[in-house]
Amino acid sequence: MHMGFCQTNELGVFGGGSLFHGDVGSQNSENAILESQPTIGIHLKRNLNYYFGLNLSIMSGRIQAHDVKSNDFYINTRDLQFKSKITEFSFLLEFNFRPYLSRDPDYNYTPFIFSGISKFYYNPQNQASNGIWYNLRPLLTEGQGSDFYPGRELYKLSGIAIPIGVGYKVNIYNYITLSFTLGWRITFNDYIDDVSTTYIEESMLTDLALEMAEPSSHNFNDGFQRGNPYNKDKYGFWGLSIIYSIKDPVKECIDLIQ
């Protein structure tokens, strides 16, 4: 077993897709993958030894969901949808299940897990009947920031998340590694899709806001449940990274245990 100082730096590019699980759309994980949108990113990693590494990353993509994709009758009838660009800055700790170091042919593949902290930015939009996509936050679709609903604060367009994920990486040629990852971000936000609590009085909304808040023809009454405020939104990413290993030729690995 190797436990040593084999510190290397890695620079990688990521390509894959996004994931979303919130109030809008299907609650099934498989449909979250079907709604996946292109995502790109970059990584700067520091391998501390054969088992642990630190990862700074920037991810940029888009998340979306639509109620018509749900098999739940009420959600399908509600007929809400949204899309949002999402940008994330993360600091992650990776743990390898077996000794791994690129450029080392004896330890050149491993499954791994990761977690850490992320700062993300988003801006939910919905498409009106005229085909134009509008920012939802200024429309106050659930009365956020209104004197009539003092408990509903105007939500921020950023938040903190806890990433949790798994991956598998393999060194395919000397300094080149391929790494597949799948991870979710546990957030403390419930308005990533602009849906959280109940419908509000229609007279409080502009015509555009009313169309965005209640596109269904069922005319849900004030106070009728629109979302679930006790289940925070989650998003995630899946995809493949191509990683280039930068090793200091002067430094050699110092094994503590063999």
Digitized pLDDT (tens) for each residue of the chain, 258 residues in all: 444 455 688 999 999 999 999 999 876 666 677 788 999 999 999 988 899 999 999 999 999 999 887 777 777 788 899 999 999 999 999 999 999 987 777 888 999 999 999 999 999 999 999 999 999 999 999 999 888 888 889 999 999 999 999 999 999 988 899 999 999 999 999 999 999 999 999 889 999 999 999 888 777 888 888 999 999 999 999 999 999 988 654 454 554 444
Domain boundaries 4-255, corresponding CATH code: 2.40.160.20
What spatial distance separates the first Cα and last Cα of the chain, rounded to whole Å? 5
Backbone angles phi, psi at 210, to 5 degrees: -65, -40
Q: What is the pLDDT of residue 64?
A: 94
Q: What is the pLDDT of residue 4?
A: 46
3-state secondary structure at position 24: coil
Q: What is the pLDDT of residue 31?
A: 67
Q: What is the pLDDT of residue 75?
A: 78
Q: What is the pLDDT of residue 24?
A: 92
Q: What is the pLDDT of residue 68?
A: 84
- Within 10 Å of residue 226's Cβ, how many Cβ atoms? 21
Q: What is the pLDDT of residue 256?
A: 44
Q: What is the pLDDT of residue 257?
A: 41
- Within 10 Å of residue 15's Cβ, how many Cβ atoms? 12
pTM exceeding 0.75:
yes
Residue from 63, 45, 159 nearest 112 by CA: 45
Rounded Cα gap, residues 152 and 155, in angstroms: 8
With 0-12 / 13-18 / 19 or more C-beta atoms within 10 angstroms meaning exposed / middle / buried, residue 133 is exposed
- Within 10 Å of residue 8's Cβ, how many Cβ atoms? 21
